[in-house]
Structure 1
Amino acid sequence: MKLQYFEDTDTLYIEFQSRAISETRDLDENTILDLDSEGNVCAITFEHASQRTDVNHLHVEGLAA
């Protein structure tokens, strides 16, 4: 899993699995889902992230070893 924040565009990108993206869907006008060929969500993009999330604080729980 990978998280990236792009300050210049205020975009938060969360990649759940690194797979080939076969489809991109707009969940709403500021949220984009990337899907693989089986319809699994591989990544999600949040536009205007600082207004919609707390990009200055990341708290991670329950990581598998």
Structure 2
Amino acid sequence: MKITYFQDTDTLYIELKPAEVSETRDLDENTLLDLDQHGNICGITIEHAKERADIPSFSYEQVAA
């Protein structure tokens, strides 16, 4: 997984897995879902990210099964 924040456009992109995007769907006015050829979500774009997410603060936690 890779997370990229584009400060100049205030856009957050979350790549869940590297895959060729076959289709992009609007979830809402400011959220786009990238789908692979099998319909699986491979990326999420969030516009106006500062308003919608706590950009300066980020944490990652892996929980054992």
Could you list the runs of 5+ residues in structure 2 that have no partner in the other structure? none
Distance (whole Å) between structure 2 residues aligned to residue 50 and residue 42 of structure 1 = 22
Give the match for residue 35 of structure 2. 35
**Is 2:55 the partner of 1:22?**
no
Distance (whole Å) between structure 1 residues aligned to residue 59 and residue 11 of structure 2 = 18
Q: Percent identity?
A: 59
Q: CA RMSD in A?
A: 1.3
Q: Under a length normalisation based on structure 1, what TM-score does the superposition of the two structures give?
A: 0.94
Could you list the runs of 5+ residues in structure 1 that have no partner in the other structure? none
Distance (whole Å) between structure 1 residues aligned to residue 32 and residue 14 of structure 2 = 11
Q: Under a length normalisation based on structure 2, what TM-score does the superposition of the two structures give?
A: 0.94
Shift of 1:41: 0.1
Aligned runs of 1:41-56 on 2, under 5 Å?
Answer: 41-56=41-56
After TM superposition, which residue ranges in structure 1, 4 or more long, deviate above 2 angstroms?
Answer: none
Distance (whole Å) between structure 1 residues aligned to residue 63 and residue 7 of structure 2 = 26
Are the structure 2 counterparts of residues 24 and 61 from structure 1 closer, same or farther at C-alpha, using a change threshold of 3 Å?
same
The count of aligned residue pairs is 64
